[in-house]
Structure 1
Amino acid sequence: MDARQADLLRKLDPIELGQRLRAARVAKGMTQTDLAGADVSVGYVSRIEAGHRRPNLQVLTDLCVRLGTPVEQLLMGVAPQELEQIKLNLDFAELALESGQAASAELQARDALDMAVAASLKELAYRSRFLLARALEAQGMVDDAIIELEGLLSPRVGNVLQIKVGIALSRCYRESGDFSKAVEVGEMMLEHLADTPLDGTDEAVQLAVTLAYAYHTRGDVSQAVRVCRRAVAKAETLDSSVGRASAYWNASILEAARGSVRDAIPLAERALKLLSEGQDARNLANLRTALGMMQLRMDPPQISEAQENLKLAAEEYQWCSASPADIGRNELAQARAHFLAGDVETAEVMSRHVHESIKVLSPLTAADAKSLEGQVHAAQGDIEAAARSYHEAVFALTGLGSDREAAELWFELAGLLEDVNEFDAARHAYRSAAAASGVQSRPRATTRKLSEELR
Structure 2
Amino acid sequence: MATSDGGREDGGAAPGIAAVAAAPAPVGERVRALRVAARMTQTQLAAGRFSKEYISQVERGKTRPTAETLEWLAGRLGTDMEFLEQGVSRAELGQAESALARAEALSESHRYERAIEEFRDAAALVESAGLPALSLRALRGEAWAHLQKGDLGAAESLLARARDLVQGAGFTGVDRADLLFLLGVLSYKRSDVVRAVELFARALALAERSGRACDGLRSDIHHWRSRCRRRQRDWEAAREDTERALELAEDLGDPRRSADAYFQASLVAERQGNWLLARQHAEQAMALFDELGDRANVGRLLNNLGGIAHLLGNSTRAVELLNRSFEIAVETGLAPDAGHALCSLAEVHLACGEAAAAERDARKALRLLAGRVDYLHEIGIAELTLGHALLKQDRPDEAEAFFSAAQTSFARIGSVSHQAAAAAALGDLAGYRGDTRAAARRYRQAAEALRDSPF
Q: Which TM-score band applies after superposition, normalised by the shorter structure?
A: 0.7 to 0.9
Indicate whether 1:329 and 2:340 are aligned: yes
SS of equivalent to 2:412: coil
Distance across 2 between alignment mates of 1:261 and 1:416: 29
Structure 1 residue 181, shift from structure 2 partner: 1.6
Q: Alpha carbon RMSD of aligned pairs, Å?
A: 3.8
Structure 1 residue 211, shift from structure 2 partner: 0.9
Distance across 1 between alignment mates of 2:24 and 2:152: 41
Higher relative contact order (CA 8 A, sep 6+): 2
Among candidates 169, 174, 177, match of residue 191 of structure 2:
177
Structure 1 residue 430, shift from structure 2 partner: 5.5
SS of equivalent to 1:402: coil
Q: What is residue 449 of structure 1 aligned with on the other side?
A: none
Q: Is the 8 A contact 2:231 2:415 kept in 1?
A: yes
Q: What is residue 40 of structure 1 aligned with on the other side?
A: 50
Structure 1 residue 130, shift from structure 2 partner: 1.4
Q: What is residue 232 of structure 2 aligned with on the other side?
A: 218
SS of equivalent to 2:115: helix
Among candidates 418, 426, 440, match of residue 406 of structure 1:
418
Kindly provide the CA deviation profile for residues 68-87 of structure 1, in whole angstroms up to 9, marking residues without a partner as x.
21222112211222212211
SS of equivalent to 2:26: helix
Q: What is residue 389 of structure 1 aligned with on the other side?
A: 402
Q: What is residue 14 of structure 2 aligned with on the other side?
A: none
Structure 1 residue 215, shift from structure 2 partner: 1.4
Kindly provide the CA deviation profile for residues 29-81 of structure 1, in whole angstroms up to 9, marking residues without a partner as x.
55545534444343332221111122233433333223221222112211222
Distance across 2 between alignment mates of 1:317 and 1:236: 32
Distance across 2 between alignment mates of 1:432 and 1:19: 71
Task: Spell out the pairing of 1:42-441 with structure 2 (5 A cutoff).
Answer: 42-149=52-159, 152=162, 167-194=181-208, 201-231=215-245, 239-296=253-310, 298=311, 300-309=313-322, 311-312=324-325, 315=328, 318-319=331-332, 325-340=336-351, 344-345=355-356, 347-362=358-373, 363-397=376-410, 399-403=411-415, 406-407=418-419, 409-410=421-422, 413-414=425-426, 416-418=428-430, 420-421=432-433, 424=438, 427-428=441-442, 431=445, 434-435=448-449, 438-439=452-453
Distance across 2 between alignment mates of 1:85 and 1:235: 31
Structure 1 residue 114, shift from structure 2 partner: 4.5
Structure 1 residue 176, shift from structure 2 partner: 0.9
Residues 106 and 220 (structure 1), Cα distance of their counterparts in 2 relative to 1, 3 Å cut: same
Structure 1 residue 315, shift from structure 2 partner: 1.5
SS of equivalent to 2:113: helix
* One-letter code aligned to 1:123: A
* One-letter code aligned to 2:122: A
* One-letter code aligned to 1:394: Q
Kindly provide the CA deviation profile for residues 229-286 of structure 1, in whole angstroms up to 9, marking residues without a partner as x.
4545666766554444333322221222233334422332233233333345554443
* One-letter code aligned to 1:355: L
Residues 23 and 427 (structure 1), Cα distance of their counterparts in 2 relative to 1, 3 Å cut: farther
SS of equivalent to 1:369: helix
Structure 1 residue 216, shift from structure 2 partner: 1.6
Distance across 1 between alignment mates of 2:277 and 2:148: 32
Residues 31 and 434 (structure 1), Cα distance of their counterparts in 2 relative to 1, 3 Å cut: farther
Residues 61 and 241 (structure 1), Cα distance of their counterparts in 2 relative to 1, 3 Å cut: closer
Task: Spell out the pairing of 1:13-24 with structure 2 (5 A cutoff).
Answer: 16-24=26-34
The range that moved more, 222-231 or 171-180, is: 222-231
**Normalising to structure 2: TM-score of the pair?**
0.77
5+ residue gaps, structure 2, are 1-22
Q: Is the 8 A contact 2:384 2:402 kept in 1?
A: yes
Aligned residues: 423
SS of equivalent to 1:124: helix
Distance across 1 between alignment mates of 2:372 and 2:450: 20
Residues 194 and 76 (structure 1), Cα distance of their counterparts in 2 relative to 1, 3 Å cut: closer
SS of equivalent to 1:69: coil
Distance across 1 between alignment mates of 2:361 and 2:39: 69
Q: Is the 8 A contact 1:99 1:318 kept in 2?
A: no
5+ residue gaps, structure 1, are 1-12, 441-455
Residues 400 and 204 (structure 1), Cα distance of their counterparts in 2 relative to 1, 3 Å cut: same
Residues 25 and 342 (structure 1), Cα distance of their counterparts in 2 relative to 1, 3 Å cut: farther
Residues 317 and 204 (structure 1), Cα distance of their counterparts in 2 relative to 1, 3 Å cut: farther
Kindly provide the CA deviation profile for residues 124-149 of structure 1, in whole angstroms up to 9, marking residues without a partner as x.
21211111012211221123324434
* One-letter code aligned to 1:391: S
Q: Is the 8 A contact 2:42 2:55 kept in 1?
A: yes
Q: Is the 8 A contact 2:58 2:64 kept in 1?
A: yes
Distance across 1 between alignment mates of 2:160 and 2:224: 17
The range that moved more, 333-342 or 213-222, is: 333-342
Residues 134 and 334 (structure 1), Cα distance of their counterparts in 2 relative to 1, 3 Å cut: farther
Residues 14 and 197 (structure 1), Cα distance of their counterparts in 2 relative to 1, 3 Å cut: closer
SS of equivalent to 1:273: helix
Residues 164 and 191 (structure 1), Cα distance of their counterparts in 2 relative to 1, 3 Å cut: closer
Distance across 2 between alignment mates of 1:132 and 1:376: 40
